[in-house]
Amino acid sequence: MPTASVTFDRPVYSPGDTIRMTVTVQAEDPAPVTQTIRGEALLSDGTRLSFSGEVVVDRAAPTLESVLVDDPTRRVWTRETSTPQSAVFIAVA
Amino acid sequence: MPRVDIELSGGVRTSASGEPVVAPLVYGGLYLGGNGDPRADLPAPGMVVQYHSFAEPGPSQYPGWMRGWIHQAVAAGTLLNLVLELKHYGVGTGAQAFTVEGRAYTVPTPAGTIQRRPNTTPPVAYSYGQVIAGQCDGLIHRTLAALRAIPPGGRINVQLASEVDTDNEFGTTGNGATFTTAQADAGAVAAYSYIIGWMRDPPTGIAPAPAGVTFSMGWAGQWSGRDAYLRTHPDTLPVDFDAFNSYNRSANWTPERRLLETLAYKRAAGPVMRRKPILMPEWGTSADWPGGQASYIDAWAPALRTVNEAQVVRGEGPIVGTCYFGSRDRTWGLLDPRDTGAAALRRCYATSPYRRP
């Protein structure tokens, strides 16, 4: 089964700060796997930020691609960069 | 608890908890003497503070005599911090007879004094004992009826007392008895808890406070010390917000140091009071701050960011509203020069944590 983990670049943000969230996916299947991701971040001020997308995880050549962003709140998670097996989303706190 | 939930193909779920923590946006306002209209200096204020006595007729409290602009501002999203005092403002101190929502009341003459500073004439006030005995129920109902005019989605915080600690600093009197500061503090907690309880859960047949109405109790700030704060802020005090002021007056301290003064008292309170968010109805600085008043105001927002980030990381209440007190004299907060100070306030409130850039 694939797994995912999340890290943030800072422990606390003020309004207007940039939040950088890194989502990392670990593949178990040796063959390339297309994964859907659906996520939601509940911030401490009560704001819910949702994101979703589709990624291809290849354990031999791990990449994340085609990450889409759902923006129901207009405080947008956007994809900033991707590295093998991980994607960085940014949003305004 | 802040967290992130992720679902992958095949129903695989994972989550991270404890992050991210985001400090809240803060309401910013400006008070001018005589409940003045601040909009010439601060268009579209995030917060407006007004001071009234329970002795006044309800519409004089909300929205206030000739204060239609306040109702319009609340409708547009401004937080109104409505300070209501048991202190009588001095005109017509006799008993009152009136009818509210079909109920007839007779409220007796205010039977107490507060703010008993030596060599002054202490103001007359409804005593805490009168409130607890139900003699002021008509006043409470009259205020409650006025608050029903709150526009849909509006927010009005009823702040009980301007500064309960300076009300009680030299003791109080009530119905012929004299009370020490500590006794007065206990009386205040009981009386203000009674008022909040009455408005939230009034007698049968009376509608409770409408949605959007919240409650706090005013406190001067560092003035009266930690013991007085703790006496007046038990976990059982049924307020939605903690409230205190912050002035830079007697010494030139940085905004951060000023903000931390009373927060140090709050951190000694019980777990419930520590978590309450804070409304600051008055902040200000002497115009003699080195570099000028505007430089203190310019340093305020970054200091508030720092303080609020520390509060939310601790799981304790951040400051969610601040109103600059541009009244009294230049040693407290009067903007001098006015234009320079007002421009600094506009800069302050245009940046984080008051606004997302």
The predicted model gives B186-207 an average pLDDT of 98
Which residue type is seen at B107? V
CB-nearest to A42 from B2, B6, B354 is B2
pLDDT digits (tens, 9 = 90+) for B33-79: 999 999 999 999 999 999 999 999 999 999 999 999 999 999 999 99
Which residues of chain A make contact with B3, given a CB cutoff of 8 A?
41-42
pTM to 2 decimal places: 0.90
Return the number of CB contacts < 8 Å for A and B.
116
Q: Residue B106 in 3-state DSSP?
A: strand
Which residues of chain A make contact with B15, given a CB cutoff of 8 A?
6
Contact yes or no for A12 and B20 at CB 8 A: yes
As to burial, measured by CB atoms within 10 angstroms (0-12 exposed, 13-18 middle, 19+ buried), residue A52 is: middle
Q: ipTM, 2 decimals?
A: 0.83
pLDDT digits (tens, 9 = 90+) for B294-314: 999 999 999 999 999 999 989
Is A91 in CB contact (< 8 Å) with chain B?
no
Contacts of A13 (CB under 8 A, 6+ apart): A19, A93, B20, B21, B22, B23, B309
Among chain B residues, CA nearest to A43: B2
Is A11 in CB contact (< 8 Å) with chain B?
yes
Which residues of chain A make contact with B26, given a CB cutoff of 8 A?
15
Contact yes or no for A16 and B355 at CB 8 A: yes
Q: Per the structure block, which two tokens stand in for A89?
A: 């989303």
pLDDT score, position A68: 38
pLDDT digits (tens, 9 = 90+) for B62-71: 999 999 999 9
pLDDT digits (tens, 9 = 90+) for B1-24: 457 788 877 777 777 665 678 899
CB-nearest to A39 from B6, B25, B351 is B6
CA distance B194 to B189: 8
Contact yes or no for B9 and A34 at CB 8 A: yes
When mean pLDDT is compared across A61-70, B126-135, B253-262, B289-298, the lowest value belongs to A61-70
CA distance B46 to B42: 9
CA distance B160 to B131: 13
Contact A55, A25 (CB under 8 A): yes
Contact yes or no for A37 and B6 at CB 8 A: yes
Among chain A residues, CA nearest to B305: A14
CA separation, residue B93 to residues B61, B180, B318 (Å) = 17, 24, 39
Q: Give the pLDDT band of residue B241 (cuts 50, 70, 90).
A: very high
CA distance B167 to B181: 9
How far does CA B60 lie from the centroid of its chain? 19
Among chain B residues, CA nearest to A6: B16
Contact A44, B316 (CB under 8 A): no
CB-nearest to A11 from B19, B26, B355 is B19
pLDDT score, position B15: 73
Concatenate the DSSP letters of all residues of A16-76 into one string: TPEEEEEEEEE--SSS-EEEEEEEEEE-TTS-EEEEEEEEEE-SSS----------SSSS-
Contact yes or no for B9 and A36 at CB 8 A: yes
pLDDT score, position A71: 40
Contact yes or no for A16 and B9 at CB 8 A: no
Mutate which: A5, A9, A12, A76, vs B, most B CBs within 10 A: A12
Which residues of chain B make contact with A41, given a CB cutoff of 8 A?
2-4, 20
The predicted model gives B245-267 an average pLDDT of 93
Classify the C-alpha dihedral A55-A56-A58-A61 as positive or negative.
Answer: negative
CB-nearest to B22 from A4, A7, A44 is A44
Which residues of chain B make contact with A92, given a CB cutoff of 8 A?
356
Q: Name the pairing type of β-strands B213-217 and B155-160.
A: parallel
pLDDT score, position B278: 98
Among chain A residues, CA nearest to B15: A5
Q: Where are the beta strands (DSSP E) in B117-243?
A: 124-125, 155-160, 172-174, 177-179, 213-217, 242-243
